Structure 1
Amino acid sequence: MAAKANSSPSELVQAHVDLWNLTYSYHKSMALQCAVELGIPTAIHRRGGAASLPDLLATLPVPQARKPHLPRLMRFLVVTGVLALDAAPAGDAGSSGGVYRLTPLSRLLVDDAGAGARANGCTGTASLAPFVLAQTNRYHVGAAMRLSEWFRGGPDGDDTPFRMAHGTDQWDAWRRDPEVNKVFMDGLGADSQLTMDFVVTRCGEVFDGVGTLVDVGGGNGSTARAIARAFPHVRCSVLDLAHVIGHIQPSDGVQYIVGDMMSSIPPADAVLLKVTYTSSYLVITLLTSRTMHALKHFF
């Protein structure tokens, strides 16, 4: 009752709307994951950047029995800004509900890189579809579902919701599950490539005077390869664990070094560390000390 006494009718209505929005927000992530897995952005791109519902029904890998449900997913993707919809002209008897178009967001999810993609307004770089799949995989979702349980207690060894849900930490889980490990590494690599395309064209001066660089936890090496291509004078190396890079051969002037960044970091003029999530203070402290040890030979 206190909330009603202190809030105006319009504030209560807005609060109710916000509450519903937050409560159902997980549907946005799952719908985005579904759009990527079905290849909806790429299907629209391949039809010149615009496609009707019949076009998509004829193209997407959806069984006949599930096709009647596709319009609901498409409407949801429009409402959330993943796609745009050009409504059919009024009185158009031959209309099938309008035409779906890509938005700036969904252009990032098209997996046809190159000149054809650029011609339709896409980035022409690596698709971020792998990043979406990496961050919505069953391990992450399962860990998120245990958040309140983790706060309330549990075994002392469960230092994170991830460990509570899966009995191990993220890196060991990836080591045990090569398929998910590949999805995760492809996702980070795709995100890094898009980021580095911007960095090398807009911030290239940061590499002036750099002769050697080691990308710590560099995964499949997409970041290091982008730097090596743009700045041939920089000798790039990638440091990561064996299950991540043990199978990768040197390419594009990039060397791969199997090792643990928490134990040692090879000396270099520059150390690159891209953090995609919040690490603990202990990890930050260890990384700082290892990085200073790696750089001290040059100053």
Structure 2
Amino acid sequence: MAWHNGEQSTELLHAQAHVWNHILNFINSMSLECATQLGIPDIIHKHGKPMTLEELVDALPINKAKSQGVSRLMRILMNLGYRSGFDRAMASSSEWFENENPTPFDTKHGKTFWEYAGQEPRLNNFFNEAMASDAKLVASVLISDCKHLFEGLNSIVDVGGGTGTVSEVIVDAFPNLKCTVPDLPHVVAGL
């Protein structure tokens, strides 16, 4: 898929973002649930005035190493219109904030997404196909709008590049470029 003008590429990227917004829309309700479970509305109400992010993080019963997640959570809530009491305050589960797991997925399943996908072939195939589909769009826009970034290169390494879709698009546009795509064994098993 080749795109010949920036306006078309931009329009396509906006459409793709719109689709992803619908796919990931569950994040809004899960963020509201997480804020409620953490007691954020009560903490802010008891404070009696707007709080800084640092004040909110200090008042929360969370693992402080995950405080950057509170900022993300508050940003989502602000975008949803929950502004009263949150004006200066700038996961999927409050439990994640309280433990040592690096992601909410780890908390829910006891393993990383990649470990889980490595044991669930259906999920692995579905995820790889979805990423390849998205990668075709993004790579075609990348080649169309940022071709100059690849000129003069001899090789690239696409670490975690899945099934190699982005590299295929790049090599089609730059046949003399050598692309290497290292990834997990279960991702590249059927290639």
With normalisation by structure 1, the TM-score equals 0.34
The count of residues paired between Structure 1 and Structure 2 equals 119
Structure 1 match to 2:142: 199
TM alignment of 1:91-102, pairs within 5 A: none
Say which of 152, 156, 164 aligns to 1:221: 164
Indicate yes or no: 2:119 matched with 1:173.
Answer: no
Say which of 135, 148, 155 aligns to 2:94: 148
Gaps (5+ residues) in structure 1? 1-102, 110-127, 249-299
CA distance in structure 1 between the partners assigned to 2:13 and 2:174 by the alignment: 29
Structure 2 match to 1:33: none
Structure 2 match to 1:247: 190
Q: Alpha-carbon deviation of 1:185? A: 1.8
Which of these two proteins has the greater Rg computed from alpha carbons?
1
Residues 133 and 183 in structure 1, CA contact (< 8 A), matched pair in contact too: no
Deviations 1:87-132 (A, max 9, x none): xxxxxxxxxxxxxxxx9799659xxxxxxxxxxxxxxxxxx97x78
Change (3 A) 1:215 1:148: same
Deviations 1:263-298 (A, max 9, x none): xxxxxxxxxxxxxxxxxxxxxxxxxxxxxxxxxxxx
Gaps (5+ residues) in structure 2? 1-10, 35-90
Greater strand proportion: 1
Greater helix proportion: 2
Say which of 222, 230, 250 aligns to 2:173: 230
Change (3 A) 1:106 1:202: closer
What is the aligned-residue identity percentage?
A: 30
CA distance in structure 2 between the partners assigned to 1:134 and 1:184 by the alignment: 13
| Aligned-residue RMSD, C-alpha | 3.3
More RCO (CA 8 Å, sep 6+): 2
Residues 210 and 234 in structure 1, CA contact (< 8 A), matched pair in contact too: yes
CA distance in structure 2 between the partners assigned to 1:207 and 1:246 by the alignment: 28
Letter in 2 for 1:182: N
TM alignment of 1:1-299, pairs within 5 A: 146-151=92-97, 153-154=98-99, 156=100, 158-248=101-191
With normalisation by structure 2, the TM-score equals 0.52
Stretches of 4+ aligned residues off by more than 3 angstroms: 103-109, 131-137
Change (3 A) 1:212 1:106: closer
SS in 2 for 1:209: coil
Q: Alpha-carbon deviation of 1:170? A: 1.2
